[in-house]
Chain A
């Protein structure tokens, strides 16, 4: 039942800094759910929804050496190849894109039908951008920011060292969502009528919103009896933990987490 086609395309041999390579790959069955799964080590990724049935993949290979350390073209010359490359497979309506080699770097722009579920992961992408997608979005960037715009399904996004910005035009009912970053702001825009249960946690920052949030009862303070250094008893109480609330009467759970940043929840 499962058929596999594997396209390894030697973009590297042809890639030229100015001219992106382009590949159009159809989804096997346009009437079935479509999935896009991208994993890159280096390079930035943009995924855009468009009005069509195929995946259009544009890839610009770049030198693996940074500018100034051997990566620049000598005067009067331009780059025609070297490291880089990409492997694309289609199996059971899932299109998978991987780096051909471990250290290759490049910029990837992918256009897919709006109704596609998208999973994107990059280790040190500068930017990870997903625009105009109505399926489920899962985005993960290690050393860069995650930006999701014009989404109308569900979003699960994480960045380790960057800002997470998500804007939803519509929210799919009954979908849980989660937005998290270690070192950056979590900035989420939701439609004004979104029903959700919010769980928010900003260890070292503040939480702001223009929604009317019905905050749940605060977690019971933790009281601890202990002894100080000279052995005298003392009491220590801690009030903290994830903060919870509901908007528009509550609904599926949305989780917001940041360690060194702020949480901003905007009303559209």
Chain B
């Protein structure tokens, strides 16, 4: 197993959905590869941090075991409190004697303390602002990295429904991500399920700025035999105003087996004029 193959399994590993053989292969590789072990560990920490972020899908219902476990913890804590020695009373009278008797002095002291607090707050806040900005950027990059991993690993699944989920994850990565683009193009050209290919064509829209993507869409057209996917690709090319596609569209307008596709190609040629 190569490092790249191993990395594709990380997301499954942390979501505990790895099959037995894959897990064994992963562990064999990890035993011999320091870099991957570090990476896996780092991703695990990130994965746990991600869990703390507000969920973008449905919130998870607490399991039935949560309630009894909570009460167990609570009663254990109470027992601990009872057996511990009683805390010493605070030295109330001595502190109270420092507090001025007169209302005016009380107000003045309160204001002074408030101003001091605000001052300290500003001093503390202005210092690490810069480093926090870079932390956010780093976290942003790592989230993107994680989404990329999830999209790539879902696109490899056997179940069509899971691969569709992979395609919808592809919408959430940066459109400059060339690995996800390559995986989407692979799906458009080779996925055995029509519906998955169709969804992948739609997901290519955000990647349209890349010349490589436009080129690949034109090349995908002659490989495709399913009319519905052909139509989706033709529409994509029209949306991209891709004039380079003309010869390919002309061929489809004349030779496509489906009349709907021939019409669509003819329509596209007029639009791109």
Kindly state whether residue B7 has any CB partner on chain A within 8 Å: no
Given known A-B contacts A136-B160, A259-B260, A182 and B195 have beta carbons under 8 A apart:
no
Given known A-B contacts A180-B198, A253-B168, A259-B228, A138 and B193 have beta carbons under 8 A apart:
yes
Number of B residues, CB within 8 Å of A: 26
**Contact check: which of B58, B162, B193, B226 meets A173 at CB < 8 Å?**
B58
With both beta carbons as reference points, the residue of chain B lying nearest to A173 in the complex is identified as B58
Query: Is the pair B160, A156 in contact by a Cβ cutoff of 8 Å?
Result: yes
Kindly state whether residue B72 has any CB partner on chain A within 8 Å: no
Query: Is the pair B198, A255 in contact by a Cβ cutoff of 8 Å?
Result: yes
With both beta carbons as reference points, the residue of chain A lying nearest to B239 in the complex is identified as A222
Given known A-B contacts A140-B193, A178-B164, A160 and B198 have beta carbons under 8 A apart:
no
Given known A-B contacts A138-B160, A156-B195, A176 and B258 have beta carbons under 8 A apart:
no
Question: From residue A146, how far is it (CB to closest CB) to chain B in Å?
Answer: 11
Kindly state whether residue B57 has any CB partner on chain A within 8 Å: yes
Query: Is the pair B165, A257 in contact by a Cβ cutoff of 8 Å?
Result: no
Query: Is the pair A182, B258 in contact by a Cβ cutoff of 8 Å?
Result: yes
Query: Is the pair B195, A180 in contact by a Cβ cutoff of 8 Å?
Result: yes
What 1/0 mask marks residues of chain B from 41 to 65 whose CB sits below 8 Å from any chain A CB? 0000000000000000110000000
Kindly state whether residue A20 has any CB partner on chain B within 8 Å: no
Kindly state whether residue A175 has any CB partner on chain B within 8 Å: yes
What residues on A are CB-neighbors of B165 within 8 Å? 174-176, 252-253
Kindly state whether residue B126 has any CB partner on chain A within 8 Å: no
What residues on A are CB-neighbors of B231 within 8 Å? 182, 203, 259
Query: Is the pair A182, B260 in contact by a Cβ cutoff of 8 Å?
Result: yes
Kindly state whether residue B178 has any CB partner on chain A within 8 Å: no
Chain B contact surface mostly:
helix
Kindly state whether residue A195 has any CB partner on chain B within 8 Å: yes
Kindly state whether residue A246 has any CB partner on chain B within 8 Å: no
**Contact check: which of A136, A157, A241 meets B159 at CB < 8 Å?**
A136
Query: Is the pair A156, B193 in contact by a Cβ cutoff of 8 Å?
Result: yes
Kindly state whether residue A89 has any CB partner on chain B within 8 Å: no
What residues on B are CB-neighbors of A177 within 8 Å? 161, 164
**Contact check: which of B21, B199, B239 meets A255 at CB < 8 Å?**
B199
Kindly state whether residue A44 has any CB partner on chain B within 8 Å: no
Given known A-B contacts A138-B160, A182-B228, A174 and B57 have beta carbons under 8 A apart:
yes
What residues on B are CB-neighbors of A176 within 8 Å? 161-162, 164-165, 167-168
What residues on B are CB-neighbors of A199 within 8 Å? 202
Kindly state whether residue A126 has any CB partner on chain B within 8 Å: no
Given known A-B contacts A176-B161, A176-B168, A158 and B195 have beta carbons under 8 A apart:
yes
Query: Is the pair A158, B194 in contact by a Cβ cutoff of 8 Å?
Result: yes
Query: Is the pair B260, A156 in contact by a Cβ cutoff of 8 Å?
Result: no
With both beta carbons as reference points, the residue of chain B lying nearest to A138 in the complex is identified as B160
With both beta carbons as reference points, the residue of chain B lying nearest to A1 in the complex is identified as B21
Q: What is the CA–CA distance of A224 and B271 in the complex, to the nearest angstrom? A: 10
**Contact check: which of B161, B162, B228, B241 meets A160 at CB < 8 Å?**
B228
Query: Is the pair A156, B228 in contact by a Cβ cutoff of 8 Å?
Result: no
What residues on A are CB-neighbors of B159 within 8 Å? 117, 136, 138
CB interface residues, A 158-178, toward B, < 8 Å:
158, 160, 173-178
Kindly state whether residue B175 has any CB partner on chain A within 8 Å: no
28 A-B residue pairings within 8 Å (CB atoms): A117-B159, A136-B161, A138-B159, A156-B160, A156-B161, A156-B164, A156-B196, A158-B193, A173-B58, A176-B165, A177-B164, A178-B164, A179-B195, A180-B198, A182-B258, A182-B260, A183-B260, A199-B202, A203-B231, A241-B239, A251-B57, A251-B58, A252-B165, A253-B164, A253-B168, A257-B228, A259-B231, A260-B260
The 10 closest A-B pairs by CB, nearest first: A178-B195, A176-B164, A158-B194, A156-B160, A154-B161, A138-B160, A176-B165, A175-B161, A182-B228, A182-B227
CB within 8 Å of B: which residues of A? Answer: 1, 117, 119, 136, 138, 140, 154, 156-158, 160, 173-183, 195, 199, 203, 222, 224, 241-242, 251-253, 255, 257, 259-260
Extra contacts besides A156-B193, A182-B260 (9): CB < 8 Å: A117-B159, A136-B159, A140-B194, A156-B160, A175-B161, A177-B161, A180-B198, A251-B58, A259-B231
